[in-house]
Amino acid sequence: MTFSIVARHGDAYGVAVASKFLAVGAVVPDARLGVGAVATQSFARFAYREELLARLAAGEGAQEALAAATALDEGRETRQVGVVGTGTAATFTGSECNAWAGGVAREEGDTAYAIQGNILTGPEVVEAMEGAWRESAGRPLAQRLLAALVAGDAAGGDSRGRQSAALYAVEPGSGYDGCGVLADLRVDDHSDPVTELGRLLSEWEMYFGKPEDVQPLDGALADEVRERLARAGFEGGDLATALADWAGNANYEARLTSDGIDRRVLEALRAATA
């Protein structure tokens, strides 16, 4: 009923998942800073999330942790699980999962991933997800997870249709106030949940992402920003203060920097004062 990717990129961990199932994000994904990430699906055993993360935290590798956890579960042949730890990845598909069901797990340099799905249109879904993951090398983890999910959806995804999707990822210092939550997004009931998840991720990164493509606030750019801030009702005094007041009012304060103005903040200011 579900396809997912569990992955590590450097010291970031996360899960992206989609399904013909209401609020899949409430059941499948979990991740913990400095430890790993887990996806439990196909007659999901919710307890796997804490069990596997606890085993990873205790020093077990992904394969070892997954083998031990499934051995204790009498219903394991109906389950599907993906897990990634500090340097390892593993996936499990029980013999009683509904077809098509399967997965792949690999470790490559500073990344590792487990991709799995059940009741899929075919193995091409997993293959497309793995290809998208590799092709997105160099991009941030959340964007790579989304790219894999988009590819799986385009390749056929859940054979029953679409309903929900989710993305949960953690990274030290990321997110609101540096809390470590890189992304925490759910589309619980939607006709095109993966596309909607992509829209939400773009919004999340705007509100909680780190500054990017920063330009110094001097010369013609400083004049433009000052004029646009005045047009928006934020004028007088120090330019940096006026910009901070406007950005704070729009909830863009995470993207403020003393080095100048973030590209996306500048785009938003231009759009707001066009």
Task: For 209-219, write each residue's pLDDT tens digit.
Answer: 989 999 999 99
Amino acid 237: pLDDT: 81
Predicted confidence (pLDDT) at residue 93 exceeds the cutoff of 80 = yes
- What does the domain layout of the chain look like in residue ranges? 2-208, 219-272
Of 30 and 108, the structure prediction assigns the larger pLDDT to: 30
Tokens of 102: 């399967």
How far CA 141 is from CA of 14, 78, 105, 168, in Å, comes to: 7, 30, 17, 10
- Tokens standing for residue 228: 């646009």
Give the class (CATH, top level) of 2-208. Answer: alpha beta
What's 232's DSSP letter? Answer: T
Helix (H) / strand (E) element for 191: namely none
Tell me the β-bridge partners of 12. 9
As a whole number of angstroms, the distance between CA 215 and CA 261 comes to: 5
DSSP 27-48: TSEEEETTTEEEEEESS--THH
Determine the Cα–Cα distance for residues 38 and 109; give it in Å rounded to an integer: 20
The DSSP symbol for 204 reads H
Give every CB contact of residue 233 below 8 A, 6+ residues apart in sequence: none
User: 57: left (phi > 0), else alpha (psi -120 to 50), else beta?
Assistant: alpha
Q: Which residues of 95-126 are buried (b: 16+ CB within 10 A; e: fewer)?
A: eebeebbbbbbebeeebbbbbbbbbbbeeebb
Q: What is the pTM of this model?
A: 0.93
Average pLDDT over residues 22-41: 98
Mean pLDDT over residues 176-185, rounded?
A: 94
Cα separation, 106 vs 131, in Å, equals 13
Position 1 confidence tier, pLDDT thresholds 50, 70, 90: low
